[in-house]
Amino acid sequence: MNPVRKRVAVLISGRGSNLQALIDAAGETGFPAEIALVISDRPDVQGLQRAERAGIARQVLMPKELGGRAAFEAALDEALRKAGIDLICLAGFMRILGAGFVARWQGRLINIHPSLLPAFPGLDTHQRALEAGVKLHGCSVHFVDAGVDSGPIIGQAAVPVLPSDDADSLADRVLVEEHRLYPRCLELVCLGDVQLRDRKVTVASSAAAKGAALANPGAR
């Protein structure tokens, strides 16, 4: 018997290519989650069109229009609860959520970040990686805590930094791995295969044996 699929909300601000990867994964037989709701803090973004094409409920919540962050987060909370959401995925959501919101969703709120955390939290990660001269770069999926890109890491995928790279070419290479990593990490969380203790995530040995816990699930 299939376990009950988790109801996932994806929060976006733009292009939504990671949203698309999650939508595609959720369409696979046996995937333990459905994308039940997409919320954007900007109107007219490509991610909303992707959600529409997939027949997923969508909402635009704009902090400015709602009267600020507190009102925005209250509206967000309400939308998520009304939709019976179990888990939130941030996917290119360009807003920092307040400590109260984060605490309410602790352990049920995950994010993808385009660097190998704890290196390069924040913005412009690809340019910063190039400037630092790192030889490996990549992406991380992590539980969200009250800091910026500082929560416990669930999974990571690495790519080489090539001498010919500029920020765009490096971003493209990382993005391919983001699209592989995020669905796999979501799957682990939905199946209850990750345990969060003392800010560290461990992956159940059964999932690890299947290779789901590899640091680089995209390795070929």
Q: Which residues bind ligand GRF (CB under 6 A)?
A: 14-18, 47, 91-92, 112-114, 175, 178
Contact 192, 198 (CB under 8 A): no
Active-site residue (options: 113, 126, 142, 179): 113
Per the annotation, the verdict on 142 as an active-site residue is no
Nearer Cβ to ligand GRF (5/15): 15
User: Which amino acid is present at 203?
Assistant: V
Residue nearest ligand GRF (C-beta atom): 92
In the complex, minimum distance from the CB of residue 94 to ligand GRF, in angstroms, rounded to a whole number: 8
In the complex, minimum distance from the CB of residue 178 to ligand GRF, in angstroms, rounded to a whole number: 5
Nearer Cβ to ligand GRF (140/201): 140
In the complex, minimum distance from the CB of residue 72 to ligand GRF, in angstroms, rounded to a whole number: 19
Nearer Cβ to ligand GRF (86/177): 177
The residues that are catalytic are: 113
